[in-house]
Amino acid sequence: MLTAGYYHTLKISRISDFGLFLADTDGEEVLLPNRYVSLSDKVGDDISVFVYHDSENRLVATTEKPFATAGELASLKVVDKNAYGFFLDWGLSAKHLFLPNSNQAIPMEIGRSYVVYIYNDNITGRATATARLNKYINNDNISLNVGEQVEILVTRRVEKGYRVIANNRHWGMIYNSQIFKPVSIGDKLTAYVTKITDENRIDISLSPTGMDEIVLSAERIKSALKANGGVLHLSDASSPEEIKEALQMSKKSFKRAVGNLLKRNIIKIDDNSIKLL
């Protein structure tokens, strides 16, 4: 069944003056307009497309890739509005994503970006956006484990750090003490679960934990050494701020990684610098 807001792999069933008609396994067809057609496309070929409703409420296909699909979150910019709601740029040249007035979490403005969830509307069948996230994002039944790698979306700056959404499903927090590189609202990043509390609070880190963290930090130091002629003016006496600025890691991670490199006889260190052997 062809559903708006999702990718589909369809078969080219026939060619028309307006483009290619693509069919699913049930024989339901959708038009891929000429501007997305390649000269190499032929009847019988399979093609991956994104399906949405056009301005006349017809399903149409595109080879363009939106910033997010139904069931996903993204930080999208408001580009227009009318009496019924707002239109968001979601990466398709021929179509903006609609967010009804009732789906605002706070008053929205043209030109600003907001974190939204995209869903398939049960009544219209259209891909629709909402900024009211708690209906879709919660920590009632956590499906993550400590140490697990997750994909996060940064949603809000708070005093203690950043509130994030992990795997399009759960709320999490990255604390200031775990941030060693620039982070902005709307960033999609790879991160790691460091703690799940009895209250179902999820703590997130941008770096892995345990031995994985040591190995990755050691590789980062090696890369920095190679990029700086084999010398870094850092040592055990360097301040956390100096290490953060140079390597985007904590002093604790730095010391562990240096110990790993020393043990492997890759570097030597003195009071003022690290040198690559």
Look at residue 13 in the predicted model and tell me its pLDDT.
95
pLDDT of residue 248: 79
For residue 140, the tally of other CB atoms under 10 A from its CB is 6
Please tell me whether residues 228 and 271 are part of one structural domain: yes
Last residue of a domain, one of 130, 159, 177: 130
- Which residues lie below 8 Å from residue 241, measured CB to CB, with a gap of 6+? none
In the numeric block, the tokens 């339901």 are attached to 28
Mean pLDDT across the chain: 90
What is the per-residue pLDDT for 209? 66
- Helix 251-263 to helix 210-227 angle, to the nearest 10 degrees? 80
> Does residue 136 fall inside a structural domain?
no
Q: pLDDT for 232-272, tens place per residue?
A: 888 888 888 888 888 877 788 888 888 888 888 888 888 88
Same domain, 196 and 226: no
Is 200 within the bounds of a domain?
yes
161 lies in the same domain as 183: yes
Query: pTM for the whole thing?
Result: 0.74
Q: 162 by DSSP, 3-state: which?
A: strand
Alpha carbon 39 to its chain centroid, in Å, reads: 33
In the predicted model, residues of the chain with pLDDT beneath 50 are none
Predicted pLDDT of residue 211: 56
| pLDDT for the residue 49 | 96
Number of domains in the chain: 4
**In degrees rounded to 5, what are phi and psi of residue 11?**
-105, 135
What is the CATH number for 272?
Answer: 1.10.10.10
Give the residue numbers spanning the domain of 187: 149-205
Is residue 144 included in any domain, yes or no? no
Q: Are residues 215 and 270 in the same domain?
A: yes
Same domain for 267 and 217: yes
Strand partners, 130: 117
Structural domain contains residue 140 = no
> How many Å apart are CA 34 and CA 6, to the nearest integer?
20
CATH of the domain at 161: 2.40.50.140
Residue with token string 């020393």: 262
Alpha-carbon distances, residue 109 vs 40, 112, 178, 241 (angstroms): 43, 6, 32, 37
Same structural domain, 216 and 271 = yes
Do 215 and 258 lie in one domain? The reply is yes
1 is a domain residue = no
User: Are 104 and 123 members of one domain?
Assistant: yes
